[in-house]
Structure 1
Amino acid sequence: MTMDWANIVGLLGSGLMVVAYAYSNIARELNFLWFNLLNLVGSLLLIASLTIHFNLASMALEIVWAAIAVIGLANTIRKGNAR
């Protein structure tokens, strides 16, 4: 594996998603805006990486993950819970 820009971007995306997961497990009160933003940005970075180093299963997972994060963001903003 070469450490090209696509792999660096993918690692950053993975890192953001791990941070979001850890945050959801340690936060006393979850801020859904930040949680979903971290997941959305992380998945978009991984999607960008996967356009260079394509893997169908990973791409499908990241597209679904991004869609869930967008729905979560929309619900959070609609309910006025964006703190």
Structure 2
Amino acid sequence: MTFDYAWYDFVGNIGVLCIVGSYFALQVDWLDNRDLAYSLINGVGALALMISLSFDFNLSSMIIECFWLAISAVGFVRWWRRHRARKVDTD
């Protein structure tokens, strides 16, 4: 049995660290779920995993990463709307 570790495996592992790390940071109150950083880190993690999956495909994993990316995009849009509304209020 051989163990091959390609660059896309490394990218996928970075994605895992992003998603698990941001969730951990949320649970220990280092991040707020309304912060831009939380959505961005999750989105980057999902993209990294999708890159890895494009080389070693697994349909179930790709589906969950698509949802993860979409949910992160919703979080980003909600942050952007709040940020824009605050800017309008201060002008």
- The match for 1:72 among 58, 72, 75 is 75
Structure 2 partner of 1:14: 16
In 1, Cα distance between equivalents of 2:63 and 2:40: 19
The number of residue pairs the alignment matches comes to 81
Q: CA RMSD in A?
A: 1.6
Letter in 2 for 1:53: D
Identify unmatched segments of 5+ residues in structure 2.
85-91
Higher relative contact order (CA 8 A, sep 6+): 1
TM-score scaled by length of structure 2: 0.83
Deviations 1:48-82 (A, max 9, x none): 0000000000000000000000010010110118x
Three-state SS of the structure 2 residue aligned to 1:80 is helix
Q: CA deviation at 1:6?
A: 1.1
In 1, Cα distance between equivalents of 2:68 and 2:31: 22
* Contact 2:46-2:65 at 8 Å conserved across structures: yes
Change beyond 3 A, Cα 1:10–1:17? same
TM-score scaled by length of structure 1: 0.91
Q: How does 1:42-53 map to 2 (within 5 A)?
A: 42-53=45-56
Matched, 1:37 2:40: yes
Q: Which runs of 4+ in 1 moved over 4 A?
A: none
In 2, Cα distance between equivalents of 1:71 and 1:39: 11
In 1, Cα distance between equivalents of 2:77 and 2:18: 20
